[in-house]
Amino acid sequence: MRLSTLKGVTILKHYIKSNSPAHAQWFLTRRCNYRCKGCEVWLEKDYSGELSTEEIKIGLDNLRKLGVLEIVFSGGNPLLREDIGEILEYSSRYFITTIYDNGSIAAEKVDALKYADFVAISLDTLDEKKNDYLKGVAGSWRKAMNSIETLKNAGINVCVSPTISHFNVDEIIDFTKYFTERKIPVWYCLYWYDYAFEGRLFGIGTKNDEYEIVEKERLVRVIDEIRELKKERKGIFITDKTLEAVRELYANDRRTWNCKALQNFLVIDHLGRVAGCHCREPVTTIFELPEVWKSPELDRKREEYSKCTKCAYLCYIFYSVHTNTVGEMSILRDQWANIKFLLEKENTAEKLTGIKTSQ
């Protein structure tokens, strides 16, 4: 991780400012070269209005004003933007910066990706045919495996990110063992079909589709196994608190968290529209965000979203169960072994390449 002085200031600002969100996810583009089933993003053909590089930098400055700590860039495929290196370089000066790739482009964009703190490659299974079926493109599994290898060899913090669904739930433990044995951290997503809120940014999946985990005990069993595995190996990037929340939902149909959309996290789309999550309608733009963040209108939305029970995406749960300083410190405690693992890895890369990982 590039630990610069500017990043230190961002972290300090986050803790000094009260009510600042920790996390922003930015869907930089709707363009995508894959055809994942159930995803409606790639169906969109109107690419007009995508923000320029300068507009994105202004947006990032506004997120700094707000005290945001961490940014995740996704899409579409954000690596389809020509200026992605410049965006990552700017973002990682101030924020802990992660970028997603579906595995198709990363190997060709090493120079741009060296600016990111983490690169997450989405890959769902070790079964080549199944992965290609899920991504809707032949050769996607091989490309993803090649990207992971290329980035690892280039000293970039690459993680593999499977979406747990009906298709792979019983493979997740073997999948996790395979990658952690090779010192590639695993960062899970969990499939969920989106509720049809009016004006939502975009939707994924439909009720009773082929991804839905209907036999809930299968997921509960996997969660218990992940917790056990975490005790014996490094590189599993999920906290016990998040796992407990999901387990309680799937085992006992009980939600133990209140959603913290527009409190601890927010999302931004390719047009610069800001929403609580991708399932909800825009509430403002990235350009007006600092002015309206504390408005009564956004307070009303916060209140509404805190009672919402319409999704169980792991990232949104993670940012809902780890809030404020106490919650964020508990991430450090839970993930301490992984933090040490990453720092050791960077020191080794530094020794091998002579390139400093901090500014």
* Residue ranges binding ligand SF4 (CB under 6 A): 32, 34-36, 39, 41-42, 75-77, 102, 259, 261, 276-277, 279-280, 305, 308, 310-311, 316
SS3 content of the chain, % helix, strand, coil (to 5): 45, 10, 40
- Nearest approach, Cβ of residue 219 and ligand SF4 (Å): 18
- Selection from 284, 283, 271 nearest residue 46 by Cα: 271
- Nearest approach, Cβ of residue 106 and ligand SF4 (Å): 12
- Nearest approach, Cβ of residue 201 and ligand SF4 (Å): 10
Evaluated on CA atoms 89, 95, 96, 98, the torsion sign reads negative
**Residue closer to ligand SF4, measured from CB, 28 or 342:** 28
Helices 216-232, 240-252: crossing angle, 10 deg rounding: 160
**Residue closer to ligand SF4, measured from CB, 272 or 276:** 276
Tell me 313's DSSP state: -
Cβ neighbors of 124 (< 8 A, separation 6 or more) are 130, 131, 134, 135, 162, 163, 165, 167, 168
Evaluated on CA atoms 323, 241, 173, 164, the torsion sign reads negative
- Nearest approach, Cβ of residue 227 and ligand SF4 (Å): 24
- Nearest approach, Cβ of residue 5 and ligand SF4 (Å): 34
**Residue closer to ligand SF4, measured from CB, 162 or 235:** 162
- Nearest approach, Cβ of residue 305 and ligand SF4 (Å): 4
For the chain, give the longest Cα–Cα distance: 54
**Residue closer to ligand SF4, measured from CB, 72 or 279:** 279
CA atoms lying within 13 Å on the CB side of residue 199: 9
In this structure, the dihedral spanned by the alpha carbons of residues 210, 214, 215 and 219, taken in order and rounded to 10 degrees, is 80
**Residue closer to ligand SF4, measured from CB, 35 or 182:** 35
Q: What are phi and psi of 220, to 5 degrees?
A: -60, -45
**Residue closer to ligand SF4, measured from CB, 38 or 155:** 38
- Nearest approach, Cβ of residue 42 and ligand SF4 (Å): 4
**Residue closer to ligand SF4, measured from CB, 118 or 265:** 265
Characterize the bridge pairing of strands 96-101 and 118-122.
parallel
Both tokens of 185, joined, read 């951290």
| Cα separation, 255 vs 234, whole angstroms | 28
- Selection from 286, 339, 277 nearest residue 314 by Cα: 277
- Nearest approach, Cβ of residue 313 and ligand SF4 (Å): 7
Characterize the bridge pairing of strands 158-161 and 163-164.
unpaired
94, 60 Cβ separation under 8 angstroms: yes
- Nearest approach, Cβ of residue 193 and ligand SF4 (Å): 11
